[in-house]
Structure 1
């Protein structure tokens, strides 16, 4: 039975991964995330009831999380093996060690639950489960710069819990989902726990009312419409930095589109121009700057920048009237470990791969928006839109808060995989949290326009070369989430979760 329970934990973790982006369609499935998490709660409780120690519940939670996380970002194997040149066995081990290492946080959470739960009432077990799950998610999203890809809340971008997004953000949604799952998973085995289904139902229905209450972002108003052209070059990653192949294709195609587009705002993906400015053909950037120096058009272009010997930045430049001499510039703040900076002590690992420009400098936080035609456009680059608290830093001053969010990405590193679908859901969650439209210009997909309610209104087919022309409506107003996260970061969620844990410890001690 013990072996069967462990196998069931791993299976539930695989189901959790599938809920983030269903492999046969790419859509997030909120009910599947609840089901898998309820299964984890039930399995941990079964371990407790069969006399299992906290070590056994820790192992069960670790197996669940390892299966979930490795199956969520398995596509890192492609970037390391196919494009980085790392051997297949080492790339597979790297994915496993990353997933297993991050799963340690959930293993600790499972161990604490197994230690404290036997001395708590059913309601206390539910609260403890939700608090520990949230703490594990928060630690994963912050420790060692954080890697929160695939956080449980993203599965709910289309579900009823999405109504919580403008109030408590993705981690608050994850905490609520954990509480609902615990109510469902713990209820069958608990006596005197008749209230648990009622609590689960209330938590599931409440965000419908909250979402309706904040449907237009409170005091939100339209800031007008903007015609945009989002470029998707579909440059294969194995050709992107190759002279005579991807470099020439990118310079020719993006340059042509930038020079002839008639949209009010033209946007390229991350590092669309795959050379440093000094390496570009003579007059290349100057021609773009001159093209947009007058008139009613502007452009945002992804290009790596150099600020001195060995000092690089993953940047976007903004061109428009009055910006010919000094373009707008945004430098990526939150860098990808091993892809854009090398963590201390891991130079040996990155030396085993062939990844160009693997060590970037870090931009500031917050950085000013790109102001154009009455809109304040806040760029972020690829992985950065995982960090809603950092995007939220730009919302503290309501008068200068962004009216449109913009993400530029290159997911070609990960092939034609669910990484594209997962990233689309992440961007949709940011739109819901801040009640702002989100533009996404990517190399291979998903190039989309998302409205302020998190709905995809326009999208290019993935892995095609094309231009997405659309109209986007900017928005004002500050959501409750934007208000508190811009002032306190994620501290309120940390404090609330730690308070529940501390109360559970105190309660357990008094009931010995």
Structure 2
């Protein structure tokens, strides 16, 4: 405080204006362990936007803080480390359900759960760390470039090493009207929107404040305009689908003492009430090989009373290769068509490299690892009598948006059978269901989803859940099949239009960074 004597003789006290503390600089100057903890926690905060919590503002806020702190970082090495730690926190929280399969037989496999979640989170976050390194190579402290690089990393994560597009940044919008934009650009367009929203929030504190306000206002408006209202009534002559959920717990599902209990439950639930136009059972709902259930098929035929039946089962071919299959049984109890799962779960349904080990002379090790299931080679769609063509999906296949756009004839519906009992009651079943909603939006097709322990549902072509059976319940849903919409842009062209836009944005951002550097 300074004093000043005025012309009238009075003494005035003048308080100097204190500089506003730079929070970012203070944080980045803290000890390494404190910075690591902050970025891990920020990543966990970002994970709150994933189902079942759906707190998408937390995701956008956390991403905005990440971009802002990146713009204040003065060296590439800490910038990459910060993004990697943020990613570890994000994936550790979002993929926390990954430990559930190891708890089914906790005495044998429980010890692996901590390693599984740590390795999965660190591995997925490594894509983001590489993105940060590339962004820094182009232009250090460039927040928009980092955002675009992470979106590119999300696309890469969805494709490389068979792909794992789970917990994409765009999935936080599935419960909002912005999810409808997936009909134009798929899930990666939604990830780009997440980064645009985060950048717009950051820009409120900088020279692009007006652009940020306009961008956020535009996103809110689009979300409000596109948000679908209540579903229209389904036509009176629409086919009725019965979705049966037996609630076979994973630790009992293959137990000889329980197998027939769950199979009889399926048959009983199927035979109740009026005859539907189609009956759908979940993945591996029949606990025997297809090769040995001829007598059971007649029992199934009596239960469905002339309706076609879709069920999941395992089968073996003449060379003793095993398949995870979806079977369509016609009204006469005959197997009409078989779809074998094509996109298998690495380390869950097969061991990557087991065949290679055998070919290079390590046959003993290959036998110990086991070969698991064999991928099918005949794509869908399959024909459902009285319904039309359906795109078949078995569990894991439902998370791969790009694999549904094969440019073939237009299907009538998406047909997903799954066994989410592996995920327990954690976030996994809810996140899997959310992705099913997104597949329906992308394709403009309704989805029939039959899950062993839940959540079974009928989803319309706008991603609305018309009816569902919750977790750990047995029962049956009789729901009229909603109509299909005209082919969406994404159904016709897949990711290519979005990838072209992403390339142009990245090129433009690179050009601006070079210009400012000059």
TM-score by length of 2: 0.83
CA–CA separation in structure 1 for the residues paired with 2:295 and 2:109: 41
Q: 1:501 aligns with which of 499, 506, 514?
A: 506
Say whether 1:15 aligns with 2:37: no
Unaligned runs of 5+ in 1: none
CA–CA separation in structure 1 for the residues paired with 2:109 and 2:188: 36
Structure 1 residue 286: Cα displacement: 4.1
Change beyond 3 A, Cα 1:215–1:43: farther
Secondary structure, aligned partner of 1:191: coil
Structure 1 residue 278: Cα displacement: 3.2
Q: 2:211 aligns with which of 195, 214, 226?
A: 195
1:239 corresponds to which residue?
A: 252
For 1:146-185, list aligned pairs within 5 A.
Answer: 146-185=163-202
For 1:280-319, list aligned pairs within 5 A.
Answer: 280=293, 283-289=295-301, 295=306, 297-319=307-329
Change beyond 3 A, Cα 1:115–1:197: farther
Structure 1 residue 129: Cα displacement: 3.6
Q: Is the contact made by 1:119 and 1:508 (CA closer than 8 Å) also made in structure 2?
A: no
Q: Is the contact made by 1:232 and 1:467 (CA closer than 8 Å) also made in structure 2?
A: yes
TM-score by length of 1: 0.84
Q: 1:38 aligns with which of 31, 52, 64?
A: 64
Name the count of aligned residue pairs: 477
Q: Which runs of 4+ in 1 moved over 6 A?
A: 345-348, 355-358
Listed one character per residue, the Cα deviations across residues 83-134 of structure 1 (whole Å, up to 9, x for unaligned) are: 37654343211221121011111111123334434486xxxx43x2442122
Q: Is the contact made by 1:187 and 1:196 (CA closer than 8 Å) also made in structure 2?
A: yes
Structure 1 residue 290: Cα displacement: 6.9
Secondary structure, aligned partner of 1:108: helix
CA–CA separation in structure 1 for the residues paired with 2:236 and 2:156: 37
Listed one character per residue, the Cα deviations across residues 148-176 of structure 1 (whole Å, up to 9, x for unaligned) are: 11112121112231231211111101111
Secondary structure, aligned partner of 1:373: coil
Structure 1 residue 257: Cα displacement: 3.5
Say whether 1:251 aligns with 2:260: no
CA–CA separation in structure 2 for the residues paired with 1:199 and 1:284: 60
Listed one character per residue, the Cα deviations across residues 253-297 of structure 1 (whole Å, up to 9, x for unaligned) are: 2233445562211111100012212344x61124435766x84x1
Change beyond 3 A, Cα 1:457–1:108: same
2:348 corresponds to which residue?
A: 339
CA–CA separation in structure 1 for the residues paired with 2:369 and 2:352: 16
Task: Report the structure number with the largest CA radius of gyration.
Answer: 2
Q: 2:441 aligns with which of 432, 435, 446?
A: 432
1:140 corresponds to which residue?
A: 157
Change beyond 3 A, Cα 1:346–1:310: closer
Structure 1 residue 368: Cα displacement: 2.1
Higher RCO (C-alpha under 8 Å, 6+ residues apart): 1
1:98 corresponds to which residue?
A: 120
Indicate the larger mover: 157-166 or 95-104: 157-166
CA RMSD, Structure 1 to Structure 2 (Å): 3.1
Listed one character per residue, the Cα deviations across residues 467-501 of structure 1 (whole Å, up to 9, x for unaligned) are: 1222222314101111111xxxx344344434443
For 1:44-63, list aligned pairs within 5 A.
Answer: 44-46=70-72, 48=73, 51=74, 53-63=75-85
Structure 1 residue 15: Cα displacement: 1.8
Secondary structure, aligned partner of 1:225: coil
Q: Is the contact made by 1:258 and 1:266 (CA closer than 8 Å) also made in structure 2?
A: yes
1:359 corresponds to which residue?
A: 372
Secondary structure, aligned partner of 1:327: strand
Q: 1:482 aligns with which of 471, 491, 498?
A: 491
Unaligned runs of 5+ in 2: 1-26, 358-363
